[in-house]
Structure 1
Amino acid sequence: MRHFFRSDYEQDMSLFQSNRDRFWYGLLLILLLIAPQVLGEFYVGELGGLFIFAIAGIGLMLLVGYTGLINLGHAAFLGIGAYVNAVLLKQGVPFVVTLPVAGLFTGLCGAIIGRPTLRMSGLYLAIATLAFGSIIGTVFQKWESVTGGFDGFAVPTPYLFGIPLDTTNGIYYTSFVVLLFVLWVSANLLRAPIGRALVAIRDSEVSAQSMGINLAWYKTLAFAISATMTGLAGALFAHYVRFLAPDSFDVLLSVQFITIVFVGGLGSLRGAILGSAFVRLLPQAIAMVRDDLPFGIGRLPGLEPSLFGLVLVLVILFQPGGLNGMWLKFKGWFQEYPFKRQVSHRRQKSYAKSERLK
């Protein structure tokens, strides 16, 4: 198996482990840049939606996977970013201003929500964030002078240097650039003292506090950063759907974001992207095979959310590492071949926090 030995501090701080990683990620970047010139409009649109979900998934991953704080109202942050961006565009504010403002305003809302929930954890925090999502949904419905209520309103066309961005290729490239920026910020953040503090809080709040980590400050910061990234995704999502309505940001969308985190693999930026691909591709796969399913299963109401729940339960039971864990296993298997050992890839028993203290 290939091992990398670091010889200086700069090598340890590098974003990429080796030149081989730089080559493959660079090749992937080139392929994604030329994809709209090769693929059809439908596939380019789906990739643009995948990028938007990946941005929101990375934001939730920082909160759930790296800080250990659950959030069942993540769709509310997406909705805040979408409405702020659309309303500002309607007032004539340029897109280069509305995009960061939507992210910053959503981050402020995240900090406001995160502060009073500091003493909550586990199920209580999940219920509190779920209630927050319901409250924001009600605001979207009742504040008709701004949001249009249940009627909604069409999102104005954004322009960048006179070029409209609401086309399929425009949304694709804009979302791709924002995704690269969010990945770069997240990767550097996790290597900084802030990232190490968030991971320490996730592993043990008592130990983190004993090392001098301010739990209130870092938890609030985690909510704010997560909401900011999701606000950016919401601004792009508004142009992706082109029409905003309150029912676009319901509980099912929050469940999809939770599915992204757990199916992709907790504590992995790569897992957030893989989980986003799964969430975006599963509805398309269901649509393709719906008519061929036996016993009228394809015509049953609620088939899609039921499958999301089933997949989530199966992943938690049989593949806790998610899609990222599966990728690491396959990668290790090929690196060890033909000297692989079956015992090396056997699933190890995992313990809950309370069990580790016994």
Structure 2
Amino acid sequence: MRVLFKTTYNQDIDHLVDPGERIRVGLVIAIALAAPLFVSSYFLSELAMFICYALAGIGLMVLLGFTGQVSFGHAAFLGIGAYTQAALMTRGIPFVVSLSLAGLIAGLVGAALGRAVSRMHGFYLAVATLAFAIVTESVIGAAEPITGGHMGLKVSPIAFFGYELSQNWQIYYLYLAVLLFVIWGVANLMRAPAGRSMIAVRDSETSAKSLGINVGSVKVRAFFVSAAITGVAGALLAHLLFYLSPETFNLLESLRLMLMVVVGGLGTISGAILGAIFVSFLPNAIDVLRAILPSAVADQAGLEYLVFGAVIALFIIFEPQGIYGRWLKLRLFIETYPYYRRATFIRQKRYLKSERFR
């Protein structure tokens, strides 16, 4: 097993201290940049869709993985960002301005929600965010002059200074640049005092209070950042959907985002990316499952809900650290073989006894 000897204090806050990790991340970025040279136009559009869900996953990861606040209604922020983007561009607002405003408006709504639920925990917080998603879907359907109601709203194409981005490779590079910028920003946030206070609140609110951290303010800040990133993801997603309807951002979409961060690995940016990859392939797996199951079962409505819920439950029970946690175990096994110990990754309690029943 290789041991990293740190020689400066800055290495404690470096993004990638391990040289092997730097090589892997650099290789992934190089492949992503070279993808338009090797893949078809259709596959580029699928990659752009994957980037949107990766952004939404990072947004939810800030709230759930880094701050410990459960949200079953995060698809509402996707919808707010998407409809804001479509409405502003329909009125002639430039793409860059509308994208920024979509993230800002979604963030402000998230901050308002965070202020309202800042004293809630566990089940009550989950129900509150779920109710928020249902109310948001109803409001979007009722606000017909702005959103088009249940008839839907057409999304204008992306244009920079009068030049329309009509090629899939142009849209892909734009979305990739936004994704890399958000990853860089969240990574910096998590090593700053604001991000460290979020992690402190996640691990123990009582301990965070004893250190002088304003827990309510941290939660509001986490909701704002999370909703803003998810709003940007929704704004970009709108241009791939071309036409928006309130039913697009329903409970199933929130469950998909929850599945993404739980399966990928809570508390890591890499987990959000891996979770987005998993969710991207899951619909194909469900189609295969429909072909195998009897028609009486396969044709039933709600099969997606059943599969998503079952996958989340299985990962929570058998692999709570997700796909990224499994990768860490595999890497340690390879590095330490034949001296690997099974007890290396015994699950540790992360809460105080006084917070056990919250």
Which residue of the partner structure matches residue 317 of structure 1? 317
Task: For 1:171 and 1:139, locate their aligned partners in 2 and report how far apart those are by CA, in whole Å.
Answer: 30
Matches within 5 A, 1:84-103: 84-103=84-103
Matches within 5 A, 1:205-354: 205-288=205-288, 290-291=290-291, 293-296=292-295, 297-337=297-337, 339-344=338-343, 348-351=346-349, 353=351
Letter in 1 for 2:306: S
Task: State whether residues 171 and 239 of structure 1, in contact with CA within 8 Å, keep that contact through their aligned partners in structure 2.
Answer: no
Task: State whether residues 52 and 237 of structure 1, in contact with CA within 8 Å, keep that contact through their aligned partners in structure 2.
Answer: yes
**Larger CA deviation: 155-164 vs 303-312:** 155-164
Unaligned runs of 5+ in 1: none
Which residue of the partner structure matches residue 59 of structure 2? 59
Deviation, structure 1 residue 154: 1.2
Letter in 2 for 1:348: I
Which residue of the partner structure matches residue 45 of structure 2? 45
Task: State whether residues 171 and 236 of structure 1, in contact with CA within 8 Å, keep that contact through their aligned partners in structure 2.
Answer: no
Which residue of the partner structure matches residue 176 of structure 2? 176
Deviation, structure 1 residue 351: 3.6
Task: State whether residues 155 and 239 of structure 2, in contact with CA within 8 Å, keep that contact through their aligned partners in structure 1.
Answer: yes
> Where does structure 1 differ by over 4 angstroms across 4 or more consecutive aligned residues?
354-358
Task: State whether residues 261 and 271 of structure 1, in contact with CA within 8 Å, keep that contact through their aligned partners in structure 2.
Answer: yes
Task: State whether residues 171 and 240 of structure 1, in contact with CA within 8 Å, keep that contact through their aligned partners in structure 2.
Answer: no
Q: Deviation per CA, 1:181-210, whole angstroms, max 9, x where unpaired?
A: 111011111101111111111111111111
Which residue of the partner structure matches residue 68 of structure 1? 68
Q: Deviation per CA, 1:296-340, whole angstroms, max 9, x where unpaired?
A: 354443222211111111001101111111111111112223x24
Letter in 1 for 2:271: G
Change beyond 3 A, Cα 1:209–1:275: same
Letter in 1 for 2:286: I
- Match of 1:46, SS state, is helix
Q: Deviation per CA, 1:54-88, whole angstroms, max 9, x where unpaired?
A: 11111111111111111111001110111111111
- Match of 2:294, SS state, is helix
Letter in 2 for 1:273: I
Alignment length, in residue pairs? 355
Which residue of the partner structure matches residue 12 of structure 1? 12
Percent identity over the alignment is: 43
Q: Deviation per CA, 1:127-183, whole angstroms, max 9, x where unpaired?
A: 111111111111110110010011102101111244433543233222211111111
Task: For 2:352 and 2:143, locate their aligned partners in 1 and report how far apart those are by CA, in whole Å.
Answer: 45
Letter in 1 for 2:278: F
Task: For 1:46 and 1:157, locate their aligned partners in 2 and report how far apart those are by CA, in whole Å.
Answer: 17
**Larger CA deviation: 96-105 vs 278-287:** 278-287
Change beyond 3 A, Cα 1:239–1:357: closer
Task: State whether residues 56 and 233 of structure 1, in contact with CA within 8 Å, keep that contact through their aligned partners in structure 2.
Answer: yes
The alignment yields a C-alpha RMSD, in angstroms, of 1.8
Deviation, structure 1 residue 344: 4.7
Check if 1:123 corresponds to 2:142. no
Letter in 2 for 1:282: L
TM-score scaled to structure 1, two decimals?
Answer: 0.94
Letter in 2 for 1:201: V
Which residue of the partner structure matches residue 159 of structure 1? 159
Unaligned runs of 5+ in 2: none
Task: For 2:65 and 2:182, locate their aligned partners in 1 and report how far apart those are by CA, in whole Å.
Answer: 16
Letter in 2 for 1:353: Y
